Amino acid sequence: MSVTGKKPEPAGSVADAPARNWVDRYAPHWSRGYLRLSRADRPIGTWLLLLPCWWGLLLAMLHTGQASWYDLWLFLACGIGAFLMRGAGCTWNDITDRHIDGSVARTASRPIPSGQVSVRGALVWLVVQALVAFGILLTFNWAAILLGVLSLGPVAIYPFAKRFTWWPQVFLGIAFNWGALLVWTAHTGSLGLPAIVLYLSGIAWTLFYDTIYAHQDAEDDALIGVKSTARLFGDRTIVWLGRFLASSTILMGIAVILATTGTDIIARLVALLGPYALGHHMFWQMRRFDARDGAGLLKLFRSNRDAGLLPLPFFAVAMLI
């Protein structure tokens, strides 16, 4: 009989996964290690990869004033592709970090260091996810396909960044916001300045939320020599979060202005409420930031799904005006 009355965690469950997630409860036992490797039990990463894609698509549609059934496919393909590429990226990350993860309390329960999945099995799983994602990419135009292939560079480099720079979050931002460039190009046929500025806004947003996330591991990272913006900023983290908030909000506003040149002034003003809403949510997070509260840090990090969703209805309404 349990003294606390708390139910034990399912065998193999990862430490920072949400309680009673669908992988632990419903996935076939043989698949759980691989799904955990892809972070399917922690969907926030898929959302953070997906949302810049949807930003880029809606701004591109607002820019061109055109929408088609193909855009509906792009919308759905972003979701499927984000799930697959986030899974492939996490699998690659865990393969390269398998020795480090075993030394950090939060990550020691991940599938490779805990023995749920072998390195060979992880490599096969990585290839399967990447090939399916590539099949989806082939339904885009050639310019978007080229951008998709180029995105593999930042994905491959990111796991090593914390070994040679205090700014690994920049590399994460480069990889995680690539969809803004890719989907804009898939809709318009070419890369445009609004997409590039939106991409930079997304990188600043990633620096914001992943600095919050990295504070969970700051002490362990210091012991094993892993670098991060959380360790770099230390007691000045709030100052830097404010800078990232301002950069992300202003850059997204500029992207909206560039994308809506020649658009009805009311539509432009409605679209500009999108970056305001994002910035407001980031400010709410910043006010609640406490580097000593691990559970609170994880909650703030996960709240960025809601933050990233906020601009979308304003972009969508602006298209209808």
pLDDT, one tens digit per residue, over 175-203 is 999 999 999 999 999 999 999 999 999 99
Q: Please check the confidence at residue 219 and state whether its pLDDT lies above 50.
A: yes
pLDDT, one tens digit per residue, over 20-41 is 788 888 889 888 889 988 888 8
- Nearest alpha carbon to residue 55 among 282, 241, 311: 311
Average pLDDT taken over every residue of the chain: 90
Residue 221's pLDDT is 80
Q: Do 54 and 312 meet the contact criterion of CB atoms below 8 Å apart?
A: yes
- Nearest alpha carbon to residue 35 among 142, 111, 114: 111
- Nearest alpha carbon to residue 307 among 271, 273, 275: 275
Q: Please check the confidence at residue 101 and state whether its pLDDT lies above 80.
A: no
Q: Please check the confidence at residue 4 and state whether its pLDDT lies above 70.
A: no
Structural domains for the chain: 30-320 (1.10.357.140)
Please compute the mean of the pLDDT values over residues 224-241 and round it to a whole number.
93
